[in-house]
């Protein structure tokens, strides 16, 4: 099984298993099989088949990369929890060219009102989406954050205990130093 060196770039994109399958497929297919000699030479059928296999392999790799995700972090939001608002088309929205062609302050004021209304709606939707994102993050990372907070609290408590133990040892050391000093003074007299 050796393809022609002219196909080395295509073959470099494929793993050995697919190269073997391609060779077997080309040389043993039911309709119009290619001889091993023809498959080893430059042949448009071989070239097109290898290109096809390389494209299929790259697409499969892209699909695998896309579907892999962190197990604790689902890649899609639960859509049933997101509120959806449907707006009926009542024909009031127009393009800028109709506004530019018309003169008058009432048209400009009307356009300004539509812009304010659109901005208000966008801001409301932004608030809703940000709330959904916060809820999603709480659900997704809640356990993770609880574990971090628990670990932090345990470390703080351990540090407090160690500080108390250090203070006790300091007190014991001072007491021992006092006793030692009094013993020295008693032995001198």
Model confidence over 106-162: pLDDT tens digits?
A: 566 666 678 888 899 999 999 999 999 998 888 888 888 888 999 999 999 999 999
26, 49 Cβ separation under 8 angstroms: yes
CA 39 to chain centre: 44
What pTM was computed for the model? 0.35
Residues 21-29 have a mean pLDDT of: 85
- Report d(CA 93, CA 45) in Å as an integer: 56
Using the predicted structure, report yes or no on whether residue 76 has a pLDDT greater than 70: no
Mean pLDDT in the chain? Answer: 80
Note the pLDDT of residue 4. 84
- Report d(CA 65, CA 73) in Å as an integer: 15
CA 34 to chain centre: 46
- Report d(CA 101, CA 103) in Å as an integer: 7
Residue 112 CB neighbours (<10 A): 11
128, 83 Cβ separation under 8 angstroms: yes
Burial (CB < 10 A; 0-12, 13-18, 19+), residue 97, is: exposed
Burial (CB < 10 A; 0-12, 13-18, 19+), residue 19, is: middle
């Amino acid at each position: 099984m050796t393809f022609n060196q002219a196909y080395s770039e295509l073959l470099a994109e494929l793993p050995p298993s697919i190269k073997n399958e391609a060779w077997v497929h080309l040389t043993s297919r039911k309709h119009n099989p290619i001889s091993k000699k023809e498959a080893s030479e430059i042949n448009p059928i071989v070239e097109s088949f290898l290109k096809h296999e390389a494209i299929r392999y790259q697409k499969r790799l892209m699909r695998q990369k896309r579907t892999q995700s962190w197990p604790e972090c689902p890649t899609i939001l639960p859509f049933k929890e997101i509120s959806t608002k449907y707006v009926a088309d009542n024909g009031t929205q127009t393009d800028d060219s109709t506004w530019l062609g018309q003169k008058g302050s009432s048209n400009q004021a009307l356009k300004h009102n539509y812009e304010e209304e659109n901005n208000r709606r966008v801001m409301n939707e932004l608030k809703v989406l940000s709330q959904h994102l916060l809820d999603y993050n709480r659900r997704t990372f809640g356990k993770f954050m609880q574990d971090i907070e628990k670990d932090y609290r345990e470390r703080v408590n351990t540090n407090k205990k160690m500080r108390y133990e250090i203070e006790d040892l300091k007190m014991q050391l001072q007491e021992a130093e006092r006793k030692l000093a009094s013993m020295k003074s008693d032995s001198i007299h």
